[in-house]
Amino acid sequence: METLLYKQNRGEYNFVMAYPAIESFALASLGYLWLYKTADTTEGINAIRIASDNLNFNAKKIDSIAFSMSFDFDFMGVFEILDKLKIPFYSIERDDSYPLIFAGGPVLTTNPEPYKAFFDFMMIGDGEESFKQVLDILKQNKDKKTTLELLARIEGIYIPDKPVKKATVSLNDVIYTPILSDKSYFKDTFIIEVARGCMNRCAFCTASYTNLPFRHNEYDKIIEAIELGLKHTNKIALLGAQISAHPQFNDIMGYLYSKMEGGCNIELGISSLRTDSVTPQIVQTLVKGGQKHSTIAIESASERLRRFINKNLKEEQILNAIKISKENGLKGLKIYSMIGIPNETEEDIQEFIRLAKRIKAEIPQFNIEFSFSSFVPKPQTPLQWSKREDTKILEKKQKFLEKELAKIGFGAKFSSIKWDYWQTVLSRGGEELAPFLVSVYRKGGKIGAYKSAVKELNLDISKTIEGFDMNAPLHWDIIENYPPKNLLINEYNRLMKRI
Ligand code: SF4
């Protein structure tokens, strides 16, 4: 069952919002749903929602399709949907008889270049404001050429090869889940955005760098949103890369705690806790809201490496966060880290074992699991020029950690090193990847398809793995961004001095 928390509008212009994965993920994606609500409440627009496993709709003709791309591998879902709708992938093959196809989302804000052959235009940065302007232009239903000329005037709209300035909004309205559904991956959960971005600026983190400056919603508006959500569901989730940096985060948690104390049944969810700001009150509120486990991200067990990546976290703060979590009722913690951070040595890997032993000795009988991914250098961050570590070396590190952590009695989960490799290629590639992406899709998109497509096209992907010269132009330089490239260079040089 679906509950719409807004009043729909109707119109003649058939506008499709496509999610390039299954519907339950679409219904859990706050950004996607919020923009869908914007379209669905706009006069003159007939908004239609589709996902890769649900393409049911009534309209005879589609006027335009917007895709939301949150993950590097989402191109597979984009092609799948275009294929099912019998629409050519390349924009050059689509005349005015085809719908206008565009996309937005973190993948494109970070680096739109691999996708520019497929989309008529892309949205770079925050979408809330630019999307309204886009809809106003689209519903005029002019020919493609005129529409694109009009769209080019909007900040954040990237018409391939024309420079674009990333759109940044001030958070005036709190974004929340406008459609509650039992089909959502987060069943009937009312998600509220508390803050956007993160002021910590860890050197690898796109969530921080592509969302600068850090912004937060007003306390009163967040409380209003919580109350609205509680009218429809008891499941509340607070969202933000760094929600605990909200100046009144403790007050928000206090508000929820006293509501629960007063008999209100709230199931509360928070994606992860910032290690240096875990407090008894936060943990108690989470536990009261039914949460049994949480995650802290330490990125590396080596303090030297943490300093290098600007994760200024002391080991005592890590131990303290675990202690508070245990003492205040959580059953366990996941400790998230990376392997393959630039300049990582064997000693840095050994640090994980030392830290695990220390945790075991000082905080016994607490369920700890280590979760690792391998470092993927991302555009728009100070580590965007770095080399991706060799796959064989990463696999060796993985085996070592699995074995040694098991001896201590801790579980260790790893992201797939091979998939992280291809994610690096997709993240830092340019327009030359377009035929590669199509070929990977045609070959079924499994891991072997990537290798085979590179071979078939004789594609040189070495730069995306080896990294880039700091003086060389980068594919994503086309975006006028904040912070600009020279500040990223300065930051990289500053951090290198810490090694
Ligand atoms: S604290 Fe987390 S969200 Fe913030 S910059 Fe570091 S990794 Fe990113």
Each residue of 238-261: pLDDT tens digit? 999 888 889 999 999 999 999 999
At residue 164, does pLDDT exceed 90?
A: yes
Which residues have CB under 8 Å from 310's CB, separation 6+? 200, 201, 202, 203, 382, 491, 495
Which range (98-102, 285-289, 424-428) has the least confidence?
Answer: 285-289
Handedness of CA 257, 260, 266, 267 (dihedral sign): positive
At residue 271, does pLDDT exceed 80?
A: no
Token couple for 94: 């689509």
pLDDT band of 274, cuts 50, 70, 90 = confident
Mutate to test the pocket of ligand 1, among 194, 204, 205, 378 (most ligand atoms within 8 A of CB): 205
Q: What is the reported pLDDT for 422?
A: 98
Please state whether the predicted TM-score (pTM) of the whole model is above 0.85: yes
pLDDT band of 477, cuts 50, 70, 90 = very high
**Rounded distance from Cα 204 to ligand 1 centre (Å):** 9
Helix, strand or coil for residue 197? coil
What number is the average pLDDT over the span 20-36?
97
Residue nearest to atom 2 of ligand 1 (CA): 241
Whether residue 203 has its Cβ less than 6 Å from ligand 1 = no
Q: What is the reported pLDDT for 361?
A: 96
Q: What is the reported pLDDT for 242?
A: 85
Q: What is the reported pLDDT for 19?
A: 98
pLDDT band of 365, cuts 50, 70, 90 = very high
**Rounded distance from Cα 269 to ligand 1 centre (Å):** 19
Q: What is the reported pLDDT for 270?
A: 86
At residue 404, does pLDDT exceed 90?
A: yes
- pLDDT over 90, % of the chain: 94
Q: What is the reported pLDDT for 141?
A: 93
At residue 54, does pLDDT exceed 80?
A: yes
Q: What is the reported pLDDT for 138?
A: 98
Q: What is the reported pLDDT for 434?
A: 98
- Alpha-carbon distance 227 to 249, whole Å? 16
Mutate to test the pocket of ligand 1, among 199, 200, 273 (most ligand atoms within 8 A of CB): 200
Do residues 370 and 411 lie in contact, with contact meaning Cβ atoms separated by under 8 Å? Answer: yes
Structural domains of the chain in order of their starting residue, each with its CATH number: 2-165 (3.40.50), 188-291 (3.30.750.210), 295-499 (3.30.750.200)
- Alpha-carbon distance 381 to 272, whole Å? 22
- Alpha-carbon distance 72 to 342, whole Å? 22
Whether residue 208 has its Cβ less than 6 Å from ligand 1 = yes
Do residues 166 and 480 lie in contact, with contact meaning Cβ atoms separated by under 8 Å? Answer: yes
Q: What is the reported pLDDT for 406?
A: 96
**Rounded distance from Cα 199 to ligand 1 centre (Å):** 8
At residue 417, does pLDDT exceed 80?
A: yes
pLDDT band of 397, cuts 50, 70, 90 = very high
Whether residue 425 has its Cβ less than 6 Å from ligand 1 = no
pLDDT band of 128, cuts 50, 70, 90 = very high
Whether the ω angle into residue 20 lies within 30 degrees of 0, i.e. cis, is no
**Rounded distance from Cα 296 to ligand 1 centre (Å):** 11
In order, the DSSP letters of 308-320 are: HTT----HHHHHH
Q: Which residues on neighbouring strands pair with residue 179, listed in sequence order? A: 4
Q: What is the reported pLDDT for 303?
A: 96
At residue 6, does pLDDT exceed 90?
A: yes
At residue 90, does pLDDT exceed 90?
A: yes
Q: What are the angstrom distances between the C-alpha of 94 and each of 67, 139, 140, 214, 473?
A: 17, 19, 20, 39, 31
- Average pLDDT for the chain: 96
Which range (35-49, 265-279, 370-384, 484-498) has the least confidence?
Answer: 265-279
Do residues 9 and 43 lie in contact, with contact meaning Cβ atoms separated by under 8 Å? Answer: yes
Q: What is the reported pLDDT for 357?
A: 97
pLDDT digits (tens, 9 = 90+) for 185-237: 999 999 999 999 999 999 999 999 999 999 999 999 999 999 999 999 999 99
At residue 172, does pLDDT exceed 90?
A: no
**Rounded distance from Cα 302 to ligand 1 centre (Å):** 17
- Closest C-alpha to 464, from 67, 114, 6, 107: 114
Q: What is the reported pLDDT for 58?
A: 87
**Rounded distance from Cα 183 to ligand 1 centre (Å):** 30
pLDDT band of 59, cuts 50, 70, 90 = confident
